[in-house]
Structure 1
Amino acid sequence: MRTSIATVSLSGSLTEKLAAAARAGFDGVELFENDLLASPLTPEEVRARAADLGLALYLYQPMRDVEAVPAEEFARNLRRAAHKFRLMRRLGTDTVLVCSSVAPTAVDDDALAAEQLSALAGLAQEHGVRVAYEALAWGRHVSTYDHAWRVVAAADHPALGLCLDSFHILARGSAPEGVAALPGEKIFFLQLADAPMLAMDVLQWSRHYRCFPGQGGLDVTGLVRAAVRAGYRGPLSLEVFNDVFRQAEAGSTAVDARRSLVALQEAAGLGAPPASVAPTGVAFAELVTPDTEPVTGLLRALGFARTARHASKPVDLWSQGEARVLVNTASATRRDGLTVAAIGLESPDPAAAAERAETLLAPVLPRRRAAEDAPLDAVAAPDGTELFFCATDRPGLPSWTDDFRPLPHRAADPPNAAPGESPDQAPYQDSGPGIDGVDHLALTQPWHQFDEAALFHRTVLGLQAHGSVDIADPYGLLRSRAVTNEDGSVRIALAVGPAPTDDAARPQHVALATRDIVAVARRLRDAGHLLRIPDNYYDDLAAQFALDPDQLATYREFGILYDRDDGGAFRHCYTTAVDRVFFEIVQRDPGYLGFGARNAPIRLAAQHARHAAHL
């Protein structure tokens, strides 16, 4: 189906909004009146600009407080409408949105409303215009779509129909299935918006918290299915009022919006993009740094060894168990410090995963590579993290490991390297189990891209999005949301900070799985890389859980935090941070599915305290 977005959903000038919508691949726009009034372009120039960009002007909006008013006031409304209809002909658009009245002068009289709307439609028809009547959820007398339909049916004018808005319908608790009973030819326009489930005044909810389909909790998919069953064949149009979108760059917002419609059509059975290809594991995490010494010292303390080097780039491979960390100095800057720049995701079909990503508006990134380098497809997540689709060491498929040349390794008495061997090539310690693999990754998103990131990881990567969690930080609230594959072999925790900050301040961390957290924590403590946890935490832990006193004493000594649910126990500790990157060590019982969220405020406070002490 054709796709559209209301210009009010994007930031910037009208010309910027039109350009962003066109670049994202929309077929047209709803033109918001204020955008036209504030534009230096004439209506004819707006029409030409849209046409040059390949955009149709599907709707002009809004007209307000028209119907069920005293005769004198309605006469003024008709004069105002005649001007708008003439303007619309200059713009080249033929449908106007009329919202149900919220005026204090409006009366509760459906017959009068139908009579006046019929007169308005008659005037519109003279100008070649249709009137799409929409029930606002906070309308003074008409606030539901079925009530609006009764008024439209009573008016019985061919130029008068309905505009259905998913927010106004679903926010009132109306069942979307009822829309299927409407005559399709009378559904003139369909506006779509999602929203998180909030207990608040519906007007404030609408004006500030709408989001794109798939980012909230409303059954937008069910409503679209019902409208199509009714016979609607017009565009799917997004009308989203959101404080974040009003401040974010229009281009990225438009791409996010268009992606939501592609995914919505797939869910509603209206489109068939390439099938989702969920990742099956984490191949590697790539760290970019201008100075290798701090991070390599930390990796050695964790038990990693430098096992290979890229054949043509300054990139080293550090390995332990199934965990692989790449340390890259090729594009690092002093300003950014150490960052998690890329993640390798094991894919059962890398080519199909890349094709899916392109269809969902995540273009494959250009990659500088030597002729002999393995061909790897990568896309950029909303926060800029590069995501590689990998088939590590699988027969018949190119593997990223083919680009690396193994380094000779000799046994040594830890923690010293053997003669002629780089210390990086010797494990820091070899007593007891170490790191087995990557448990999860945690990436803090730019403040305006949190919902976009969740939608991206769900639709592009095929991961399951879990509920949002609020976490107390000493300086505000963090919002976190996990995305995982079905068996938990890929877990990514997305978070957004308490306030807009410079990207360089956003923390990132890699959580590493172990079968013996005490052994790894001891290594970190001995090397001076362990984050200390306040004693008060352990006093409270003793009251929360019936832990053995010796076990509790061990946790206290090594800064190990503890959580438990019906599925089992979760033990974790943290390294000190290098710039904004740190590691988490995790010992997870198989049935425990969380991330230790109850302990996050303790970790955040400990990190803030350590940072303050080292200023």
Structure 2
Amino acid sequence: MRTSIATVSLSGPLSEKLTAVATAGFDGVEIFENDLLGAPLSPEDVRLRCADLGLGIDLYQPFRDFEAVPAELLARNLRRAERKFDVMERLGADLLLVCSSVAPESVDDDALAAEQLRLLADRAAAHGIRIAYEALAWGRHVSTYDHAWRIVEQADHPALGTCLDSFHILSRGSDPKGIESIPGEKIFFLQLADAPLMAMDVLQWSRHYRCFPGQGGFDVASLVAAAVRAGYQGPLSLEVFNDVFRQAGAASTAVDALRSLLLLEEAAGLSTLPAAAVPSGFAFAELTAADTEPLRTLLDSLGFAPTARHTWKPVELWEQGQARILLNTGVSGRRQEPALTAVGVETAAPERAARRAEALLAPVVPRRRAPRDAPLDAVAAPDGTEFFFCRTRQPDHPSWTGDFTALPPRARPAEEPPGQSAAVRHIDHIALTQPWHQFDEASLFHRGVLGLEADGSLELADPYGLVRSRAVASPDGGVRLVLNIAPAPDAQGGRLQHIALATGDIVAAARRVRERGAGLLPIPANYYDDLDARHAFDPERLATLADLGILYDRDENGEFLHCYTATVGRVFFELVQRTGGYQGYGAQNAAVRLAAQHLNQHQPGPSPA
């Protein structure tokens, strides 16, 4: 189906919005009246600009407060409409959105509303224009789509149809099943938006918190499917009022918008994309830095050892159990401080995963390859993190580890204990702090491109505000990502990322880190007093947790213990131990951890590490 987007959904002047919409790959655009009024371009200029960009003008909007009014006001409204028709002819637009009235002068009279809309449609038809009547969720007398349709049906004019808006329908809890009873040719337009489920005034909800389909809590796909079953053949068009989108770059927002429509078409059964190749685990996490010595020291304290070096790139492989960390000193064009820049995920079908990512507009990461290097596809997430699709050390696929040459085993001091109980088993999860304006985009990307499932969004207390957090994971928990937005990134010198490592004995693992001199994040004694009050710990066990800075959580399924290393550059590590069926991330401890990290980073004197 054709894809379209309202200019109100993007930031910037009208000319930049049109360029962003066309570059992203949309077929058409809705011109929002305020964007035209504020533009130095004439309607003719906008028409030519859209034609040059290959964009159709699918709708001009909005025309407000028209119907069911006294005769003297109707005359003024018709004069206003005639002026809009003149503008539309200059634009080359042939469909006008008319919103149900909120004017105090309007009356609750469906027959009068139908009569006046029929008169408007007559005037519009003389200009080759059609009218799409939409029920605003906060309309004074008409606030539901079925009510709007009854008025359109009563007016019975070929140039008058209805516009269905997913936000106005779903925010009121209306059942979209009834859409199937509307003749498809009378559904003139379909506007789409999602939104988080919130308890607030519907007008404020609409004006500030809409998002693209798949980023909120509405079942937009079922509504679209109902409209198509009714016979709708027009464009799928996005109309999203969102404070964040109005401040973010139009180009990236437009790409995110089109990705949401592609996923919506897939969910509604209207198109087919390459099937998701859901990842089963982490192949590696890659850290880059000009000076990797602090990271080497930290990895050594965690029990990792360097096992191989890339045959021609400045990259080392460090391993422990099934956990693999790449250290990359090739930081040309990147920040010099240590940062997590890439994640490898295991998948049974790397090529299919890459095809799906490209079909969903994910930027392909260019790679320098030697002739014998293993094929390794990668795409960039919205925050710039590179995701590689891997099949590690499997007989049926070339392994990226084949590009590395083994290093001789590194000797340990003879007196050092083997430490098997402290061993890291695998990467449990990776936390990625997102740019402030890309949280919803990141959630949609990781679910749509990688095939992960999302938990609900959480707000966690931080010393400088709130951290918004959402986990996405594969169904079996083999890949877990935590997406965060920090309130004051500059207060921490940048966006912090961290890697959580699973161990079967966190006490032994924490002791090993401390014995090797790396240090762990100190946790205030007040936390352990409260922990004892809530869970009545054995005193010896509580003392051990407090001594090592280990945090604790539990639910009906099991326990979760975790502790943190000091931060190196923009990276830190977490040690975690899960028992039973615990699937969370210790969210209730986040406020304590964040406060401890702020204190540890900004307190005077030498670092405890």
Whether TM-score is above 0.5 comes out as: yes
Distance between the aligned counterparts of 1:149 and 1:503, measured in 2?
A: 54
2:125 — aligned with what?
A: 125
1:466 — aligned with what?
A: 455
Matches within 5 A, 1:171-190: 171-190=171-190
2:165 — aligned with what?
A: 165
Aligned partner letter, 2:37: L
Query: What SS is found at the alignment partner of 2:457?
Result: strand
2:507 — aligned with what?
A: 518
> Does 2:573 align with 1:605?
no
Q: Quick check: 1:289–1:332 contact (8 Å CA) kept in 2? A: no
2:579 — aligned with what?
A: 589
Distance between the aligned counterparts of 1:236 and 1:414, measured in 2?
A: 69
1:197–1:16 Cα change, 3 Å: same
Q: Which residue of 454, 457, 464 maps to 1:475? A: 464
Distance between the aligned counterparts of 1:379 and 1:503, measured in 2?
A: 27
When structure 1 is superposed on structure 2, of 311-320 and 105-114 the one drifting more is 105-114
Q: Quick check: 2:376–2:400 contact (8 Å CA) kept in 1? A: yes
Q: What's the offset of the Cα at 1:372?
A: 2.5
Distance between the aligned counterparts of 1:121 and 1:43, measured in 2?
A: 22
CA-to-partner distance for each residue in 1:377-436, whole Å, 9 max, x for gaps? Answer: 0000110000000011112322110111111115432689xxxxxxxxxxx974633111
Q: What's the offset of the Cα at 1:51?
A: 1.3
2:351 — aligned with what?
A: 351
Aligned partner letter, 1:577: T
> Does 2:194 align with 1:194?
yes
Aligned partner letter, 1:605: A
CA-to-partner distance for each residue in 1:174-213, whole Å, 9 max, x for gaps? Answer: 0111111111111000000000011100000000000000
CA-to-partner distance for each residue in 1:560-587, whole Å, 9 max, x for gaps? Answer: 1111111111111100110221000001
Matches within 5 A, 1:450-465: 450-465=439-454
2:275 — aligned with what?
A: 275
Aligned partner letter, 1:468: S
Q: Quick check: 1:532–1:559 contact (8 Å CA) kept in 2? A: yes
Aligned partner letter, 2:299: L
> Does 2:556 align with 1:540?
no
Q: What's the offset of the Cα at 1:238?
A: 0.2
1:375–1:362 Cα change, 3 Å: same
Aligned partner letter, 2:346: E
Query: What SS is found at the alignment partner of 2:132?
Result: strand
Distance between the aligned counterparts of 1:230 and 1:262, measured in 2?
A: 21
> Does 2:520 align with 1:530?
yes
Aligned partner letter, 2:511: R
Q: What's the offset of the Cα at 1:529?
A: 2.1
Q: What's the offset of the Cα at 1:450?
A: 0.4
Distance between the aligned counterparts of 1:501 and 1:125, measured in 2?
A: 57
2:312 — aligned with what?
A: 312
Aligned partner letter, 1:546: A
> Does 2:2 align with 1:8?
no
1:330 — aligned with what?
A: 330
> Deviation above 6 Å: which 4+ runs of structure 1?
none
CA-to-partner distance for each residue in 1:439-492, whole Å, 9 max, x for gaps? Answer: 000011011000110100000000001111111111111111000001001000
Q: Quick check: 1:135–1:168 contact (8 Å CA) kept in 2? A: yes
Aligned partner letter, 2:314: P
Aligned partner letter, 2:39: S
Query: What SS is found at the alignment partner of 1:147?
Result: helix
Q: What's the offset of the Cα at 1:129?
A: 0.2
Distance between the aligned counterparts of 1:266 and 1:81, measured in 2?
A: 38
Q: TM-score, normalised by structure 1?
A: 0.96
Aligned partner letter, 1:297: T
Q: Quick check: 1:415–1:429 contact (8 Å CA) kept in 2? A: no
1:12–1:503 Cα change, 3 Å: farther
Q: What's the offset of the Cα at 1:154?
A: 1.3
Q: Quick check: 1:3–1:28 contact (8 Å CA) kept in 2? A: yes
Distance between the aligned counterparts of 2:492 and 2:143, measured in 1?
A: 43
Q: What's the offset of the Cα at 1:69?
A: 1.2
Distance between the aligned counterparts of 1:262 and 1:73, measured in 2?
A: 44
Distance between the aligned counterparts of 1:546 and 1:536, measured in 2?
A: 15
1:442 — aligned with what?
A: 431
Distance between the aligned counterparts of 1:530 and 1:269, measured in 2?
A: 51
Q: Quick check: 1:344–1:387 contact (8 Å CA) kept in 2? A: yes
Distance between the aligned counterparts of 1:66 and 1:539, measured in 2?
A: 65
CA-to-partner distance for each residue in 1:237-274, whole Å, 9 max, x for gaps? Answer: 00000000000000110111101111111111001011
When structure 1 is superposed on structure 2, of 80-89 and 340-349 the one drifting more is 80-89
Query: What SS is found at the alignment partner of 1:432?
Result: helix
Distance between the aligned counterparts of 1:502 and 1:2, measured in 2?
A: 45
1:508 — aligned with what?
A: 497
Distance between the aligned counterparts of 1:578 and 1:500, measured in 2?
A: 16
Q: Quick check: 2:464–2:488 contact (8 Å CA) kept in 1? A: no
CA-to-partner distance for each residue in 1:14-37, whole Å, 9 max, x for gaps? Answer: 111111111111110101111112
Q: What's the offset of the Cα at 1:498?
A: 1.9
Distance between the aligned counterparts of 2:334 and 2:254, measured in 1?
A: 32
Q: Quick check: 1:298–1:529 contact (8 Å CA) kept in 2? A: no
2:379 — aligned with what?
A: 379
CA-to-partner distance for each residue in 1:114-172, whole Å, 9 max, x for gaps? Answer: 11111000000000000000010111111111111111111111101101100001111
Aligned partner letter, 2:81: A
Q: What's the offset of the Cα at 1:500?
A: 6.5
Q: What's the offset of the Cα at 1:499?
A: 4.6
1:425 — aligned with what?
A: none
2:556 — aligned with what?
A: 566
> Does 2:22 align with 1:22?
yes
When structure 1 is superposed on structure 2, of 508-517 and 546-555 the one drifting more is 546-555
Alignment: residue pair count: 604
1:487 — aligned with what?
A: 476
Matches within 5 A, 1:192-341: 192-331=192-331, 335-341=335-341
Q: Quick check: 2:95–2:129 contact (8 Å CA) kept in 1? A: yes
Q: TM-score, normalised by structure 2?
A: 0.97
2:568 — aligned with what?
A: 578
Aligned partner letter, 1:8: V
Aligned partner letter, 2:564: Y
Matches within 5 A, 1:137-156: 137-156=137-156
1:121–1:333 Cα change, 3 Å: closer
Aligned partner letter, 1:68: A
Distance between the aligned counterparts of 1:327 and 1:430, measured in 2?
A: 24
Distance between the aligned counterparts of 1:441 and 1:567, measured in 2?
A: 22
When structure 1 is superposed on structure 2, of 238-247 and 370-379 the one drifting more is 370-379
2:407 — aligned with what?
A: 407
Distance between the aligned counterparts of 1:564 and 1:110, measured in 2?
A: 58
